Amino acid sequence: MHGDLAATRAALSLAGAIGPDDAWTGGALVVVQTGDQLDRGDDEQAILDLFTKLSKEARDAGGGFYPLNGNHELMNADGDLRYVTAEGFVDFQDAPGLALDDPRLAGAPPQVRARLAAFLPGGPYAKVLARRPVILVVGDSVFVHGGVLPAHVAHGLERINADVSRWLSGQAKTRPALIAGDDSPVWTRAYSDAPDADDCATLGEALAAIPAKRMVVGHTVQAGGITSACDERVWLIDTGMAAYYGGSPQALEIKGDAVQILR
């Protein structure tokens, strides 16, 4: 989504999740968004608030709306603001519940303090992110921003989610080591950047251990739109739909064993 509300709305409408007034229209539909709502665009607070609203409306309607944390959500919580736009700093100056006297903001330039106060662990929007998983299994599909490796399964998927949640909410003082580095669930491109036979074998090992039939990942823009690899055991759904990349909104529909790309 990368801060593009128009693209966000287009993808959700395509999936039958929302109507013109942004209200949930999906009924029992389950939607999973694979992260990267933040950075590179100017509509971030509106997207986060919309996702919070849709999560409640979907639950009340008997469905589900589950945004995941991607690497850009966790970068903001870690104080890494390299990809924030100028408007992205202004956007959070009116965010409720900011603790601008937080000692962690000492020495930060005035124009970035509101953003930091919103997303540093324990901040109001960090607590919003704390309610969202990094990895989610729905039926026989596993969803994640980067990828689930066998080591992640061995560590425990719910343990990863719980550790990240404790960090974001401010209950844990340090970032979980497992979510940092090129082989973390939000950073790995093992399955999304031209996976070879070895990568597909690793994927098969992870899926068998979960267990799941397929993995759905984002993180790496696919220039031709949604595609699959490893005999359709992994689906690559980052179409670069945000204005920053200029791609088109798409969605992946899974009904039982039938998988369809919605354009």
Distance CA 67, CA 59 (A): 13
- Alpha-carbon 141 to chain mean position: 16
Q: What is the greatest pairwise CA distance in the chain? A: 54
Let me know if 72 is a catalytic residue: yes
Distance CA 263, CA 14 (A): 7
Helix (H, G, I), strand (E, B) or coil at 78: coil
Task: Using alpha carbons, list the distances in angstroms from residue 225 to 35, 220, 244.
Answer: 17, 11, 15
Single-letter amino acid, residue 226: I
Q: Sign of the CA dihedral 228, 229, 232, 234?
A: negative
Q: Point out the catalytic residue in the list 72, 145, 152, 219.
A: 72
Active-site residue set = 72
